[in-house]
Structure 1
Amino acid sequence: MVPSTSKRDITIKTPDGVARACVFRNGQAKAGIILYMDAFGPRPALYDMAARLAGSGYAVLVPDLFYRDTPYGPFDAKTAFVEEKSKAALTALISGTTQDMTARDSGAFIAALEAEGIRGPIGAVGYCMGGGRAINAAAAYPDKIAAAASFHGGRLGTDAPDSPASNAGKIKARVYVGSAGVDGSFPPEQSARLAQALRQAEVDHIIENYVGMQHGWCVSDHSVYDAAGAERHWKRLIDFFGETLG
C-alpha cells in the first residue's frame, strides 16, 4: 500500500441490500473515484491499485459488486477460470450480477463518496467485467460522473441494450478505453462499433490498443500481468483523471 494512504471498511445501503466496500484516501481528496472490480472480487491486488490511485489525491471507493451472493470465494486469479468448480462459481456470479444491477448500485456508490465529503466531479475506472460497468455508470449518472475508464473490459461494443456502445448517447463524461492487443471479449469489430457510437454521440474519448498485452495485464495477481504494460496503464489513467477531475 502507498505510504500514508488510509484504508477504511464501510458498508453501503443499496436498493437491493448492503454492499461492503473500502475507501482509500491520502490526505485531502480533490475528487472521488469508483473502482469497479474484475471478476475475482475485492482483494489485496485491487486494494493496492486503489491505494496507488488515492496517492494521486483522490478518495477511491472499491465496492463489492457481488454482495448479493456473499459469502463467495476467495478466488485465485491465476487459476479460477482453469479449475471447473471455481469457474462455474465465477460464471454464476458474473451472470447473476447484471449491468442494470450495477448501474442501480452506482447511485449508492456515488452517495457514499459524497458522504466522504466529495462535492466535485466523480471518476470511474473498471477492469475486466468492471470496464463496461464504469462506462455504463457514466451513462446512468451523466451529471455526476465526469470521467470513465475501462481496461481490458469485455463486450463494450455489442448490440446488446446494456452495452456501453448502446448507451453512448447518454454519456457526458470523457471516456478512455485501454484494450488488450488480442482479446476475444473485445475484438476489433466491437472496438470499431464503440468508437462509432461514441463519436456519433459527440463523446470526448480515446480507445487505445495495448499491443502485446493480454486480457488482465494491468492487475498484479493475474497470470498475464505485465509490469511494463501496467505502468503504461498507470500513466494514462492518472493523466486522464488529472486532466478531467483536477
Structure 2
Amino acid sequence: MSNHLQREIPQEAFDWYDEYAHGGMDRRTFLKKLGSLAAVGYSMTVLTSALLPNYALAEQVSFNDPEILATYETFASPLGHDEGQGYLVVPKNMSGPRPVVLVVHENRGLNPYIKDVARRLAKAGFIAFAPDALFPLGGYPGNDDEGRAMQKNLERSKIEQDFLAAAKFLKGHPQGNGKLGAVGFCFGGYMVNYLAAVESNLLSAGVPFYGTPAAAELRDNIKSPLLVHLGELDERVNKTWPDYEKDLKRLNVPYTVHVYKGANHGFHNDSTVRYDKANAEVAWQRTLDFFKETLS
C-alpha cells in the first residue's frame, strides 16, 4: 500500500473506519460518511478498497515456506468454550528448546494477516501459536464484517478464558523452553495486557500493539516486562495510556513505550492503507529483539 495513497485519504476517513471496526458505527453509516467525501472529489472506490482489508497484500511468509511447518492444533478450555483451536507454526529442524509466542488477533477472528504474523515469528526461530476466538462458531468466516459480528456475539469472559487456556497450552509445548511471550493487535493488544495481569507468572514478555489495558483491579498482578506500541493518531487507545502507565510505574513493571509518529491504529496490518511500512518494520524489529532478549 503506497504512502502516497495514505496521504491522499483524509484523516477523518481513518477515524470513521476505526469507529466502524470497533462497533461504534454500523456499515451503512460508515459508507454514508465515506460518501460525503466522494461528494467533494474523493473516489468512493479508492476509499473503500483502501480502508477495507485486502489480505492478498498481507503474506510476507508463504505457508509453503520450506523453513517452517504449520498445523492446526486443538486445546482444552474448560472455563471457556470447552475446546479451542489455533494455528501452530514451528521452525523446521529445531535443535534444542525454543521460546514460544502466543499471537492474538484483532476483534474479527484468525484472519490471514494474523496467520502471517505467526509464520514471521516461526521464520525468526520462535514457536508461534495463533488461536481463533471464533472456533466455537466454526472459525474465521473469510471476511472481517462477519467475523467481527461473530466475535461480538461471543461472551467476552469466555473468550478471555480461551486465550488463557491457549497460553498455558503453548507454554507447555514439548519443544518450548518454558518461557512464554505474547504479541497482539487491537483486541489482541488488550488480550496481551489481560494475560500479563490475570496471572503474574504466566508471561515472560508481552507486546501489545495499540491495545487497551486490563481492568484496573487486575493490574497489581503484572510482573512481566512489556513493550508497548502505539500510533500517534490513535486517540481512542492513546487516551487509556496515561492511567495504565501510572500503574506500571507504581508497580515497577519493566516497560518501554513507543509512539509512532503519523501512525494510525492498525499501522502494523499490511492489508489496508492504514499500514505504515516504515513504522511497522521498526516496531516489528523491536518486537523480535525484545522477545530474543526476554525469552532466551
Q: Measure the CA separation in 2 of the matches of 1:180 and 1:54.
A: 26
Of 133, 142, 152, 2:210 maps to 152
Of 227, 249, 261, 1:199 maps to 249
Q: 1:94 Cα shift?
A: 3.3
SS of 1:142's equivalent in the other structure is coil
Q: Measure the CA separation in 1 of the matches of 2:225 and 2:135.
A: 29
Q: Measure the CA separation in 2 of the matches of 1:96 and 1:69.
A: 9
What's the C-alpha RMSD, in Å, of the aligned pairs? 2.1
Partner residue in 2 for 1:19:
84
Would the aligned equivalents of 1:195 and 1:207 in 2 still touch at CA under 8 Å? Answer: no
Q: Measure the CA separation in 2 of the matches of 1:66 and 1:223.
A: 26
- Gaps of at least 5 residues in structure 2 are 1-60
* Structure with higher strand content: 1
Identity of aligned residues (%): 24
Partner residue in 1 for 2:114:
46
Aligned counterparts, 1:8-157, within 5 A: 8-15=71-78, 16-26=81-91, 27-28=93-94, 30-71=98-139, 73-76=141-144, 80=145, 86=146, 90-91=148-149, 93-94=151-152, 96-98=154-156, 100-113=157-170, 114-153=172-211, 155-156=212-213
Task: Classify 1:95/1:132 alpha carbon distance in 2 versus 1 (closer, same or farther; 3 Å).
Answer: farther
Q: Measure the CA separation in 2 of the matches of 1:72 and 1:23.
A: 16
Would the aligned equivalents of 1:218 and 1:226 in 2 still touch at CA under 8 Å? Answer: yes
Query: Which has the larger displacement, 49-58 or 193-202?
Result: 49-58
Partner residue in 1 for 2:224:
173
Q: 1:195 Cα shift?
A: 0.7
* Structure with higher helix content: 2
Q: 1:38 Cα shift?
A: 1.0
Residues paired across the two proteins, number: 227
Q: Deviations over 1:120-152 (max 9, x none)?
A: 210011101110101211222322311011112
SS of 1:167's equivalent in the other structure is helix
Q: What TM-score, normalized to structure 2? A: 0.70
Q: Measure the CA separation in 1 of the matches of 2:236 and 2:155.
A: 18
Q: Deviations over 1:159-183 (max 9, x none)?
A: xxx43x5432101100111011111
Would the aligned equivalents of 2:111 and 2:140 in 1 still touch at CA under 8 Å? Answer: no
Structure whose CA Rg is larger:
2
Q: Measure the CA separation in 1 of the matches of 2:174 and 2:130.
A: 13
